[in-house]
Structure 1
């Protein structure tokens, strides 16, 4: 009996008016926020008016070209460092920060960003106010068949110059060898990226968004290219050792002869 009375006493509470009633169920502990949500909230401060995202969008509206130049230059430099780290491509001092890093920053800030700013602005003006499905499809087609080849050609030309090309023949050889593979990647990713931008992003954020897409793809392509170059160097080194050159020097040159 005493045990039963004890259990009944636990289930009874005193109400504000002096009566009794059933005890409320215990509260569940608050669920732990997801890590991605915490990171996103920290970066954007809840997407509030004083958040980093809001500040960046204001800069894009107040000074679009300069903001895009800083963004593109930073991403291009980071892409080179990250690709070198992934491929384990160090300079003679064992560092991943090579002379290509500032060169890539200059390319991103003073070539890629202004070119993207102009090309995307022209594309948006051409299709301004046209929201039909047909217009969106035409915008994707024009982007992939007109704008993308121009941007990729400029990109490959700059990469050839950064790699050491000094003659027109060397630059042309690099562009001819790399344009089609780069265009294939563009044709696979650009329609999805452009469709996403059409549906969810304001016009002023298109260039930084496409810069980020290019950063991800470019990092992968850059790291893959570096790995292939290192493999070729190792093969040449081994061949040099077998040919009786104990110092391991090779006759290897990057594609295009530069």
Structure 2
């Protein structure tokens, strides 16, 4: 009785993803970020609408978040993490604290406005209107960012291998993007309502 040595191996998702990171790191990270950012928006839309008449998906809105994941989040995160890891090498609590501080004191205050401004421009807002919305919502967004990302990035820099760090941040980003989607869309609705009220008064 012969044994079949050519039996197909079980599919290993992590192994497959790891090989794609080795073969095409930027493309793999960009597609992952697009999926996560778009998925976060779909989750947000569902959460907001779940108690209403029914879920009506806005694909254009999801597409904007996915596009920013592809073109902004992934490439910026890829190069930023590489920069931080190379400039602050080593292990230990002190090193991790320096990386997190650098990430949250320098990167986050620049990236959040860049992301929100880009999103508003994609929605058709003028640059002045987009910047005003960023100014009005920045403190709230940055505070919420610190609550989520400080512990998340401490874990990421401490325990996640370098090539998986963008993937880890994308997983945490699913939660963040769901909240950010809600925040940016609610801010936009409030701004429109204020403008309509102003016009009515005039």
Tell me which interval the TM-score lies in, with the shorter structure as reference length. Answer: 0.7 to 0.9
Task: Classify 1:153/1:82 alpha carbon distance in 2 versus 1 (closer, same or farther; 3 Å).
Answer: same
How many residues are aligned here? 185
Unmatched runs of 5 consecutive residues or more in structure 2: 1-8
Higher relative contact order (CA 8 A, sep 6+): 2
Q: Deviations over 1:78-116 (max 9, x none)?
A: 222221111119xxxx73133112222211101111111
4+ residue runs over 3 A deviation: 223-233
Q: Sort the Cα spacing of 1:192 and 1:152 in 2 relative to 1 into closer, same or farther, 3 A.
A: same
Unaligned runs of 5+ in 1: 1-47, 237-249, 254-258
Alignment of 1:86-105 (within 5 A): 86-88=47-49, 95-105=56-66
> Conserved in 2, the CA contact under 8 Å of 1:76 and 1:108?
yes
Alignment of 1:174-213 (within 5 A): 174-213=133-172
Residue 127 in structure 1 maps to residue 98 in structure 2? no
TM-score (norm 1): 0.64
Q: Deviations over 1:44-92 (max 9, x none)?
A: xxxx984101111221122111001000111111222221111119xxx
CA deviation string 1:144-176 (max 9, x = no partner): 10111122121111221133212x311210211
Is 1:222 the equivalent of 2:191? no
Q: Secondary structure at the match of 1:99?
A: helix
Give the TM-score of the pair, scaled to structure 2.
0.80
Q: 1:78 aligns with which of 9, 20, 39?
A: 39
* More displaced stretch, 56-65 vs 222-231: 222-231
Distance in 1, Cα, partners of 2:57 & 2:168: 26
**Structure 2 match to 1:114:** 75
Indicate if the aligned counterparts of 2:109 and 2:142 stay in contact, CA closer than 8 A.
yes
Q: 2:119 aligns with which of 112, 135, 159?
A: 159
Measure the CA separation in 1 of the matches of 2:119 and 2:26: 22
1:146 has 2:91 as partner: no
**Higher radius of gyration, 1 or 2:** 1
Give the conservation status (yes or no) of the 8 Å contact 1:156–1:178. no
Q: Distance in 2 between matches of 1:49 and 1:58?
A: 16
Question: Do the aligned partners of residues 57 and 176 (structure 1) sit closer, same or farther apart at CA in structure 2, a change above 3 Å counting?
Answer: same
Cα distance in structure 1, aligned partners of 2:197 and 2:43: 25
